[in-house]
Amino acid sequence: MTVDFDQYINREQTSCVKFDGRQQYFGTSDVLPLWVADMDFAVPECVTHALQTRINHPVFGYTLYPESLYQAVVDWFVRRHKWKIEREWIVFAPGVVPSLFAAVQAFTKEGEGVIVQSPVYFPFFSAVTTNHRTLFNNPLREVNGRYEIDFEHLEDCAKQGASLLLLCTPHNPVGRVWREDELLRLLDISRRYNLTILSDDIHCDLVYSGVTHTMLGRLSQPGDKIVTTVAPNKSFNIPGLGLSALIIPNLAERNAMKQVFERLHVGNYNPLSMVAFEAAYRDGDEWLDALMIYLEQTRDIAADFIARELPQIKLIKPEATYLLWLDCRALGLNDSALRDFFVKGCKLGMNPGSVFGEGGSGFMRMNIGCRRSVIMEALVSIRENIIHQS
């Protein structure tokens, strides 16, 4: 399938956060938007077509999750991840972040400990703190430009009574795809300390060549307390539609998650979300494969440019996700000066690393889910501004 990912699509004035939220977030709209994790690409035709077909029916009443939607999830995980799941394990939820919050409520009491591994996508922290749980941080270890889990410290956290781990797999923002042996070690710790794991696999389909993502849930055995959350939102660029799926083999954990949502009477019964979700998982394979080829070329071109032209910046080359984690510490700027350098100097709107918690200071996160020419423009702008600065 050929898809023109270089096609220009004007997203301004669509109330989209990434473009129309720039003034609010950066204090100016005069920055290239390389922040919020959505892409500037048109969604696959199968998704547009499914939405159009649904819209042709002029009634948008209360809607059930159709069997075909469950089937699309079951088939996707067998086909793409060799994970055979049962239809009964699936629970639909409004989004992945709501499920992080729900898991904290379902599996811990106020004051109890929840483990996160920073630097990490910021709602992982707020899911714990806004629910008045105790945050146990197990910072990732940076070893020669690559991040690893600190298993000894993780075990200490569990020993000290933390009962839930919020796992990001693949990991945003550092782009690691956890290897099977690393996941097995996590499972071993979870079994020995009765730890529940919320496995956020939202980026599981955005994995580059030469790397295999293993679903933690696929490695689990009956009795393991694993809750997996997935969605086509990132992979197919439909996060605004806000529907995700939980995959929970164990009945107790499944009921606990359902109860949290039921208490708030929260579901997502939006018929448009459902048809887009189903079409993406049912018919989106070829588009997704083409997307990954495009993203990988952008990642590699950016990596070459950074290595050659930006000696002060080190790229932590991602194994997955369209997010580049840029180590800017050699620029010698504090976080506020670093942000000014990129916003005011380079005119780039990226996420400052400091928002991802301990270990994020001195880093920036660049979203490459856009036309390659935009990324080249951004990199050239950084080069010009580093020259001016020195």
- Residues 6 or more apart in contact with residue 242 via CB below 8 angstroms: 94, 95, 233, 268, 270, 273
Residue span 103-132 as binding mask against ligand PLP, x where in contact by CB under 6 A, dash where not: ------------------x-----------
**DSSP class of residue 311?**
T
Nearest CA to 140 out of 160, 103, 114, 168 is that of 168
Applying the rule CB under 6 A, the residues between 177 and 196 that interact with ligand PLP are: none
Indicate whether 95 belongs to the interface with ligand PLP (CB under 6 A).
yes
Site string for ligand PLP, 19-58 (x = CB under 6 A): ------------------x---------------------
255: Cβ contacts below 8 Å, ≥ 6 apart: none
Judged by CB, which is closer to ligand PLP: 97, or 157?
A: 97
The span of 23-31, 90-98, 141-149, 246-254 binding ligand PLP (CB under 6 A) equals 90-98
Pairing of the two strands 113-116 and 164-168: parallel
Q: How far is CA 216 from CA 60, 84, 153, 192, 274, in A?
A: 37, 13, 20, 17, 25
End-to-end CA distance of the chain, in Å? 46
Site map 132..171 versus ligand PLP, x via CB under 6 A: ------------------------------------x---
DSSP 21: T
Which of 164, 165, 183, 231: binder of ligand PLP (CB under 6 A)?
231
Cα 35 to Cα 221: distance, rounded to the nearest angstrom? 38
* Residue 173 beta carbon to ligand PLP: minimum distance, rounded to whole angstroms: 8
Enumerate residues 241-280 that contact ligand PLP by CB under 6 A.
244
Give least dist CB 172 to ligand PLP, A: 4
Nearer to ligand PLP, 234 or 339 (CB): 234
**Residues 214 and 256 sit within 8 Å (Cβ to Cβ):** no
User: Measured between alpha carbons, how far is 32 from 263 in angstroms, rounded to an integer?
Assistant: 42
CB of 334 to ligand PLP, least distance (A): 26
Q: Are 216 and 167 in contact (CB under 8 A)?
A: yes
Integer Cα distance of 165 and 182 in angstroms: 15
Q: Is 319 in the site for ligand PLP (CB under 6 A)?
A: no
Q: For the CB of residue 233, give the shortest distance to ligand PLP in the complex, in Å.
A: 5
- Output 108 or 172, the one with its CB closest to ligand PLP: 172
Decide: residue 317, CB within 10 A, 0-12 exposed, 13-18 middle, 19+ buried: middle
Closer residue to ligand PLP in complex, CB, 186/231: 231
Choose among 347, 355, 354, 358: nearest CA to 380: 347
- Number of residues counted as binding ligand PLP (CB under 6 A): 13
Select the residue interacting with ligand PLP from 69, 90, 149, 202 (CB under 6 A).
202
Query: Shortest gap between Cβ of 168 and ligand PLP (angstroms)?
Result: 5
Q: Is residue 281 within the footprint of ligand PLP (CB under 6 A)?
A: no
Strand 164-168 relative to strand 196-200, pairing: parallel
- Among 137, 233, 298, 354, interactor with ligand PLP by CB under 6 A: 233
Binding residues vs ligand PLP (CB under 6 A): 37, 95-97, 121, 168, 172, 200, 202, 231, 233, 239, 244
